[in-house]
Structure 1
Amino acid sequence: MAEDLVLDTAIRDWVLIPLTVVMILIGILRYFVSKLMQSQPTPDAKVVKEGQVVVRARNLRAGANFIPAKSFRARRAYFSNEENGLLHVPKGQGQNPQAQMFSDPNMAMDMMKKNLSMIIPQTLTFAWVNFFFSGFVAAKIPFPLTQRFRSMLQNGIDLSTVDVSYVSSRSWYFLNLFGLRGLFSLILGEENAMDDTQRMMQMGGFGFDPTKSDCYCVQRIALVY
């Protein structure tokens, strides 16, 4: 049978609240450090030109019903012709995001800076939590949980008789580490530097690929015109 515990208020005042406040302050500090370490990219003329082509193709798709059919087909061929169309990418000539990433020293340096700004604070914070707060039962979840959550919520406590809803200080650190993303979005805005992995996925490998752009469907929409 699981054992109920009475948590000391001193644990709340000297473990739970300080740990949460420190995690929030470290996250905000890491955001501003990442902004300072981020280098200003030099605009590439080729990328700017491709972006302008995308804008023009998007405007063509949006105004397809407001121009004559002959004019639309001529503009469609200008963008999607298989020989010399602006949006056509021959097979084997698509951009390789990994090759572009490693060929650009500035991009590789920015990635290394971001990794250092993420790994170093997390390592120091975990060492601080593990040294000063190891073994504390810091909080209790206000709803019952199954035994599968024990390893996630009671990291550092080897007591199988304690109810699963109790959270150790080390587990509270990991819960704050992965659960403060929404709070950082409210404080720092949606375009904050805390979620580097998601930003990298949205960028699609740091390269522009016309075949993956929504404007490339000008061909498909034009076929049903």
Structure 2
Amino acid sequence: MEAQNTQLLVLDSSIRNWVLLPIVLFMFLFGILRHYATIALRTTRKNDKAKLEQAQTLARAQTVRTNANWIPHEAFLERKAFFNQPETGVLNKKIPANTLASMADPNNMVDMMKTNFATIVPNIVMWGWVSYFFSGFVIAKFPFPLTGRFRGMVQRGIELNSLDVSYVTSASMYFLILFGLRGLFSLVLGEANAADDAQLMQQQMMGPAAAMAGPGVDMGKLFEAERDNLELVTHESKLKEAETTLLNSSQ
């Protein structure tokens, strides 16, 4: 019943030339500007050798635990003893917590403010620019049908129930372009660029070595937790039947 009440539109090519392309071009150029502005605001610090060593040790222990079944049993026991030996194991080292010292460092707050400034302010500027100049435009149509539940997602700024859900407004296209430019930014600026919000979030959650070397992290508790996790691993080698599997696959 909904498909019978929808209204079909013929999109003028001028909308593509004077609305869609300017939005894409503006967001691309603004992303490049944000990338270099973030680099200029970034504070260069000397790495703490002790923290990096602790983070790398923890990452190695996690790698052994994750891939334990892909190494021989004797090799796993040797690595487990290296990390969990009661007196000499590297995960049994006593590491004093220094969370208060890192919280008292004003540079941490400054870096956080710079990151928020480089992430939030450009999005507010771009969204305000698109909303002010191009609000209410229908600029594209999906080549596939959508249900009515997607109307609020793809038709922001227009409240018209008779319009087919497959039509997209400029406000909704902004978010699609924001994520669609990720590949272009990676091609122009490289993989580790500051023009992509999702890339920045991924870098912050990229793994234990990147997150655990930061300030305010209690490495002693992380060592203790990883030591307990390594003790719970039950080694079941997946290489026992490797020769037989390889010969059967080659026949």
TM-score, normalised with respect to structure 2: 0.69
Matched, 1:3 2:10: no
**Identity value in percent:** 40
Q: Please state whether the residue corresponding to 1:204 is helix, strand or coil.
A: helix
CA 1:189/1:220 → structure 2, altered by over 3 Å: closer, same or farther?
farther
- 2:22 pairs, out of 12, 15, 18, with 18
What is the aligned partner in structure 1 of residue 136 from structure 2? 135
CA 1:66/1:84 → structure 2, altered by over 3 Å: closer, same or farther?
closer
CA 1:224/1:63 → structure 2, altered by over 3 Å: closer, same or farther?
closer
CA distance in 2, matches of 1:223, 1:7: 63
- Aligned pairs for 1:1-225 (under 5 A) are 1-51=5-55, 53=57, 72=78, 77-83=81-87, 85-88=89-92, 102-193=103-194, 194=196, 195-202=199-206, 203-204=210-211, 206=214, 207=217, 209-210=222-223
Which letter does structure 2 place at the counterpart of 1:150? R
| Per-residue deviation, 1:23 | 0.9
The CA deviation string for residues 47-73 of structure 1, in whole angstroms up to 9 with x for no partner, is 1332565688779x9997898x8xx4x
Q: Please state whether the residue corresponding to 2:139 is helix, strand or coil.
A: strand
Consecutive unaligned residues of structure 2, counting only runs of 5 or more, are 238-251
The CA deviation string for residues 118-170 of structure 1, in whole angstroms up to 9 with x for no partner, is 11111111111111111111111111111111101110011111111111111
Q: Please state whether the residue corresponding to 2:6 is helix, strand or coil.
A: coil
The number of residues matched between the two structures is 215
Counterpart contact for 1:76–1:222, Cα < 8 Å: no
| Per-residue deviation, 1:28 | 1.8
Consecutive unaligned residues of structure 1, counting only runs of 5 or more, are none
| Per-residue deviation, 1:188 | 2.2
Q: RMSD between aligned alpha carbons?
A: 3.6
